[in-house]
Amino acid sequence: MKDAAKLVGVDYRTIKQGIEAGTIPTVELGPRRMIPRAGLLRAFGVEV
């Protein structure tokens, strides 16, 4: 979440809230939750 927050210039808590609300997509790979870059950027209105 911290890397994703840094990428789009927001606080990591904003990313956490977006994941919990379902506006930021995630993919679970084993014990890790990954945030696809394209989905993250789309959630913040950046065209990919």
CA 7 from chain center: how many Å?
9
Q: Where are the domains of the chain?
A: 2-43
| pLDDT at residue 47, as a whole number | 79
- Residue 6's pLDDT band, with cuts at 50, 70 and 90, is very high
Average pLDDT over residues 16-34: 95
Task: Examine the pLDDT at 32 and tell me if it is beyond 80.
Answer: yes
pTM assigned to the model: 0.82
Q: Which residue from 48, 41, 30 is spatially nearest to 15, judged by alpha carbons?
A: 41
Separation between Cα atoms, residue 36 and residue 27, nearest integer Å: 7
